[in-house]
A and B are shown apart, each in its own frame.
Chain A
Amino acid sequence: MRNHAIHALLLLVALAAVLSAPAVRPLRADEKEKPAPLKLKVGDTAPDFTLKYFDGAKLQDVSLHEFRGKKNVVVAFFVFAFTGG
């Protein structure tokens, strides 16, 4: 009788493990690679910005509009300092 109870319990534990597995399963690569569409598209006017950067001595401003009519600008957003790319 007691054995039955233990078996039933083990079965329940095993069942719970199987059922909860999909929830904790790590995302497959193709699921991760489903980026949301970007808000901006080619042809849009790039939002202007004025931001600070440190030139080694003091904080300086850099803005998008200062290059208007003079230079193309590559604006490279990255996640945080010390990340790849």
Chain B
Amino acid sequence: MRNLQANYKKLEEADTQVVGVSMDSPFANKAFGDSLNVTFPIASDWFDEGATTKAYGLWDPKYKAARRATFLVGKDGKIEEIQADREAVDPTKIVTACERKKKG
């Protein structure tokens, strides 16, 4: 989250909205976002018991939690980049992809 926020301006300039998703309650997410000065919404996948997390194939039954992953979804709704697990901590690949799209 922190790394995405650090790149938020770049992403915004490249026509990109950031949406965080976690399985915590919206209030926990808001507190978390505030603690990092996050300005994008952190949505809660809590009410539907992780339905979105499962739809994206990120539900890990072993840990009863989501796997970390970042998806770049284009304006056409198609997935353009995926960063999963440890790789997802650093969003550089996705930021670069957005900027490339903007130029191209």
Contact = CB atoms under 8 A, between A and B. Distances in A.
Interface of A: 33, 35, 38-49, 51-56, 59-60, 62, 64-65, 67-85
B3 interface: yes
Interface of B: 1-4, 11, 14-24, 26-32, 35, 41-45, 47, 51-53, 55-58, 63, 65-82, 84-86, 88-89, 91, 94, 98, 101
Contacts of A83: 68
Of A33, A71, A72, A85, which is in contact with the most chain B CB atoms at under 10 Å from its CB?
A72
A51 B50 CA distance: 10
Given A39-B57, A78-B68, A53 B30 contact: yes
Given A51-B21, A73-B17, A77-B68, A68 B75 contact: yes
Where chain A touches its partner, the secondary structure class is loop
A72 B15 CA distance: 6
Would you list the 5 A-B pairs with minimal beta carbon distance, nearest first?
A39-B57, A81-B32, A51-B43, A54-B26, A47-B55
